[in-house]
Amino acid sequence: MSAQVWSYFLYFYSFFYQLIDPCSNPEQLLVNSVDRQQYLGKWFFKAAVSHREADIHKFRVLDSIVFTMEETSNNTLVLTGHMRIGDDCMKQTWTYQIHPEREELLLEGRPQRRNLLWSGMWANCPNCIVFQEVEPPLRESDSEDSLNRYMLYARQTDSDSDITTSFVKNSACRNLKQSIRLPQEKEFCF
């Protein structure tokens, strides 16, 4: 009897909670405990969101981005980006350190930047990942982070456009209303 009452209570609680907070809650992937092997390999950039245009404006010149994530040593990940800008290709590499006591990746040369991973279910995509970059305010008197953007990556180039739409919609629910989707009209750079 008490199990049935508890079940009804949880049902009504979750129903009313959805009325109060209709936003889906993304799941953070803690880099110090996640199976890194499943995230190695190729990722295709799909979209970026933020609450400010300044955080995502640099993506507007790009046609497409393909990233390759490799583990070079036990606690080091190298992310290589191949970016298409017009008819040109550009390559850039970032090195991240994983520390057992930290939940985020540490970008080499940018120790103040927090790099968080979120489940692709934010975009209703089990084969996606969301990468967040956060930098603290430039001045102590500032109340807002100097950078805070989320980027959606998918395993396939031709992933369903509903994934990107879902990501942008769920992000807007969290007041991340500035977004960019890359056109991907030209051949990918590799």
The CATH superfamily holding the domain 28-181 is Calycin beta-barrel core domain (2.40.128.20)
Mind listing the pLDDT tens digit for each residue in 76-99?
A: 999 999 999 999 999 999 999 998
- Measured CA to CA, the distance from residue 159 to residue 152 in angstroms comes to 12
Q: How far is 31 from 184, CA to CA, in rounded Å?
A: 29
Q: What is the mean pLDDT of residues 24-32?
A: 86
Q: What is the pTM of this model?
A: 0.83
In the chain, what percentage of residues exceed pLDDT 90?
59
Residue extents of the structural domains in the chain: 28-181
Q: How many CA atoms lie within 13 A of 61 on its CB side?
A: 8
CA-CA-CA-CA torsion sign (166, 124, 102, 31): negative
CA separation for the pair 56, 189 (Å, rounded): 21
Indicate if the alpha-carbon torsion angle 102, 27, 9, 19 is positive or negative: positive
Grouping H, G, I as helix, E, B as strand and the rest as coil, residue 16 is helix
Write out pLDDT tens, residues 145-160. Answer: 788 999 999 998 777 7
At position 183, the amino acid (one-letter code) is P
More confident residue, 20 or 121: 121
Give the pLDDT band (50/70/90) at residue 189.
very high
Per residue in 17-48, is it b (16+ CB within 10 Å) or e — as a string?
Answer: eeeeeeebebeebebeeeebeebeebbbbbbb
Q: Is residue 20's pLDDT more than 80? A: no
